[in-house]
Structure 1
Amino acid sequence: MKKHKGFGLIEAIISLSLFSLILVSFLKGVAKHNQVKTANAYAKHIELVINQLQKYQNYMVLDKKTDPVLASVWPTNLEGLMTGSKFWPQCSFLEEQAHHCERPDNVPWTAQKLGYKVLLKFNEQSTAELTIPSPPPEWASPLRRIPFAVVQSNGDIKITIGDPLLSQAFKAFLKKDGTTELTGDWDVGNKNILNVADITLRNADGTVMSVAAGLTRQHFSARHGTVIKSPSCPVRMNAKIKLATQGNIPNSIANDYENYGPMRIAAKPISGGWSIIAEFVATRKSDRVRGILREGVVAGETYCEPQ
């Protein structure tokens, strides 16, 4: 009998299909890796542009004795960095297209160039601003991590560039006791602020409010004997409770009693919180006996207070 060879052909087709799938997955992984690598490299390019702009400003202020409030301490445009090749090597458009060099305003994913302008404020040192036009998601991630980078509603990323000496002073200020006034917005780059005892805000009337106390403030309604848990407070803050009479005596009690005395409310400290006390004196209508009732509702709030 002749042996059928069709099964061997099917096996070969299945093997080739599996190999193709594996190859496609591998190539996608390589492409993703290269994409991330290229995106990180471009973020380094932007950091270099920022660094060279600060060197330009430093040169104009210290060497050329230019008033730092003037726009002239910054180059008119990014091509100005290449003037005299002092801050960026000369690179024409043709040389960039031939991959011989890279211009400072280069943007790999679009024909648009890197946006740049000088910002002037009355009686303050001038600053520069870079605008990166709507980077794709894989490019945006490392760019957002650059200090002072802010994503705009249209997807652009703007980066404010200040005097390098002021930048160093700002960093030093953050390490000190906070007696220097923070005059601008403080963007921490989408990072957490840890190891803070408390943050306080000054109200318009001059009073000061604890942010930590506000975050832990909880309101409740409770009857006699209800257990209220203590809030978890930051370091060097104590848990507190405040009560007020709310009323709401059940109708069955209200119909049988009269001549209610004032309600005594209190929070008895127990392990992990407080036990609510809500009691008052009233006269029973049937026999005119006066006694203590533990009814009604109290309103309260728990919060944290600095020690």
Structure 2
Amino acid sequence: MSDLAAPTPTDLDARLEGHRRELTGYCYRMLGSAFEAEDAVQDTMVRAWRSFDRFEGRSSLRSWLYRIATNVCLDMLNAGNKRARPMDLTESTPVAQAALNSRPEVTWLEPVPDGRVLASVEDPAETAVGRETIRLAFMAALQHLPPKQRAVLILREVLAWKASEVAELLETTVASVNSALQRARSTLAEAGPTATDTADPLDEEQQKLLARYVSAFEGYDMEALTALLHEDATLSMPPYDLWLQGHDNIVGWMLGVGEVCRGSRLVPVVANGTPAFAHYHPSASGEGFDPWALMVIEMTEGKVSGITSFLDVDRWFPLFDLPAKLDA
């Protein structure tokens, strides 16, 4: 975690910006919201500017920024913010009883583009850890941790800080850090985040699976789609708390209420370390396709195990730099 000599005010802007992406990744893991993470980082940058005259270079600039970012995130989390997936809040619903009940925006764990939160590194193992620890399932498990335990786990397990460095940042003891880490690991083990395949690089079989998925979905071929799904695959659609599990329920939904998605188009993107698609729905005007959902795909052992369709496209499509319309 070494850094160069303490920066002068004239080069501070560029030095701060050099840490923006990794800080955004840290704040995203802490908060579970792409937009709150960006707000937290911006607040961190402003606080750094305002207090730069008190930065004496006794720690690295990076450590100092992480200290500020941690305090910002802890303040936000102490205000009661906690994110979830639909399956964390309700039981799965049989398709015959399915109803779309929305919950406030602040309820939901949010997707994020990899490029906004994963710093470019040469070490493949470090890259793998980065992608693994922004998966939706892992992010949902993090929400079970109290704020300081969450910070300790991320700093120690994801960012590979030493216990002494985390203790200094949190102004506590090494023994306290080690105890918090042990408790956090125990809680995560109980939460049991499902293992899924990350997106980069996709092997040949994963590429074929996704190609078949696109073909089946765009062709609305339910037999072909079912063949690609695990028997206990899930479908969820934030901001609605409804989620469905299993072939019959998913297909029943898609041939019922979901029938409006027939004729859609999927554009590949990457979100949360996993494959995703921008889902465009046939326009009501009959001309082209309009944004409908950001569809995050979870794959396990050669099949699709989870489909999360984030429906608030006014938020997600600009975040992912996606076009506002597709031509026919």
Q: TM-score range by the shorter chain?
A: under 0.3
As a proportion of its length, which structure holds more helix? 2
TM-score (norm 1): 0.22
As a proportion of its length, which structure holds more strand? 1
The structure with the largest alpha-carbon Rg is 1
